[in-house]
Amino acid sequence: MLGDKLPADQAEAGAQQIVAVMQKMNHLDQLRSLGEALAHIQTVKIFDYPAIVELLKHVLIVGEIRRSILNYVSRDTGQKFDGLQAFVDWAKEENKNLDWESPPRNPLQ
């Protein structure tokens, strides 16, 4: 796994870059590939949950891409999320104070 082969700080930086790039993409195949890469990073502690929420609001983050992101988050939280609503419920219970209400960013801007 990618995260197992990198020092934790480099894996974390790589994961943050993947999330940032995915937020700006509008090509489904590229999003899928990056989602798979993100899901394989094992050693990361997530510090930027707002960026994860923005990514999950992206109009093309569905199906297996969403599952990859939720798997990535699951490793950090120790929780298994069967779907987006399970993650939303967990975040609210943990008082993560995340913005679930605003519309997603336009990846074309």
Confidence of residue 64 (pLDDT cuts 50, 70, 90): very high
In this structure, is residue 99 part of a structural domain? no
Q: Give the rounded percent of residues in the chain with a pLDDT score beyond 90.
A: 38
Question: What value does the mean pLDDT take over residues 58-78?
Answer: 91
Q: Global pTM?
A: 0.81
Confidence of residue 5 (pLDDT cuts 50, 70, 90): confident
What is the C-alpha to C-alpha distance for residues 55 and 36, in angstroms, rounded to an integer? 14
Domain count, the chain: 1
Domain interval for residue 34:
2-93
What is the C-alpha to C-alpha distance for residues 9 and 7, in angstroms, rounded to an integer? 6
In this structure, is residue 56 part of a structural domain? yes
Confidence of residue 75 (pLDDT cuts 50, 70, 90): confident
In this structure, is residue 8 part of a structural domain? yes
User: In this model, does residue 13 exceed pLDDT 60?
Assistant: yes
In this structure, is residue 102 part of a structural domain? no
